Amino acid sequence: MNRFFFIILVFLTACAPQPSFTPTAAPAAQQAIPRVEKMPNRPKPYAFKDWKKTAQEFDQYVFDFSQKGDFLPLIWWDKTGRNFPETTFGIYTALGDVRMGGAVNNGENHEALGALGAVLGASLVGIDKSKQDGHDYVGMLRNYFNRDNGWNVIMNFTNKGAHIGGGYGNDFWYEIHNNVLFYSVADLYPKEKGFEEIQRTIADQFYRSDSVMGSNYSYSFFDFKNMTGGKSHIPTQEDVAGG
C-alpha cells in the first residue's frame, strides 16, 4: 500500500505546474576582430554554388551506365541476389578502387554508404529514384538488409564475402549510420514494397541490442544475431548510443 501511495505522489508531482527556466548567465558579447571586420560579407567577384544543380548533375553522371573512360561507368549491376532474389547495384566508394567493380567478385563488392547516400541525396533534390530509367533504385537498397546471416539490420555490404572495408561486424558506426540512412530514404518513399516491415525489424533489433548493452556502449561492434557486444582492434565507440 505504501508503494501505491508513493507512485501516486510521484505522478502528481510530475504533473504539477513547473516554473519556467530562465538562464542566469549573461549572454556572451560578440567581440569584433578588426581584420575580420574589414572583410566584406559578400565579396566580389563571388558566386554561390548551386548545390541543388550539383546534386542533380552528380546523379546524372553516377547512374549513367553508358559512361566511357578510365574507371567508368561508376555504377554496375550485382545479380547475385543476396538477402533477396533481386538484382541490385553497386557504385564506387572511391574512384578507381580496384577492389570494386562489376568484374570483381561477381560485382558484390560495394558499400551501402555510397548507395544509400546517392539515392538519398538525389531524392532530396527532386529525383524519383524509384522510377528512374525503368529502375527502382530505392527497392534495390533492401539487399543491404542482412537477413541471410541473421543480423536483420542494414549492413555496409550485402554479405561477409563482399567485406572489403569498414563495418560488417568490426566497426560499430557503420551499422548505425547505414540504418539511419535507410530510414531517411524510407521516409521519402513510404509506399516502397517491404520497407515498412524491414524498418520494424530493424527497430526491434536495435531495441533488443539496447536492452542488452544498457548503459554500457563500450564496444567496437555489436553482433545483432547473437545479441552480444564485441571488441576488436577498432576503438570502442560509445558515441553510437546517439544513433
Q: Is residue 96 part of a domain?
A: yes
70 in a structural domain: yes
- Calpha distance 81→158 (Å, rounded): 9
The verdict on residue 13 lying in a domain is: no
Residue 239 contacts residue 175 (beta carbons within 8 Å): no
**36 assigned to some structural domain:** no
Instruction: Write out the residue range of the structural domain in which residue 105 sits.
Output: 49-242
Please check the confidence at residue 28 and state whether its pLDDT lies above 90: no
Residue 59 lies in a domain: yes
pLDDT of residue 16: 59
Residue 40, domain member (yes or no): no
Write down the pTM of the prediction. Answer: 0.81
| Number of domains present in the structure of the chain | 1
Whether residue 179 lies inside any domain: the answer is yes
Q: What is the pLDDT of residue 46?
A: 86
Query: Which of the residue ranges 21-35, 67-81, 93-107 would you say has the lowest mean pLDDT?
Result: 21-35
C-alpha cell at 184: 531517411
Residue identified by cell 520497407 is 195
Model confidence over 110-127: pLDDT tens digits? Answer: 999 999 999 999 999 999
Q: Average pLDDT, stretch 50-78?
A: 96
Span 166-171, mean pLDDT? Answer: 77
Residue 218: inside a domain? yes
Mean of per-residue pLDDT scores for the chain: 90
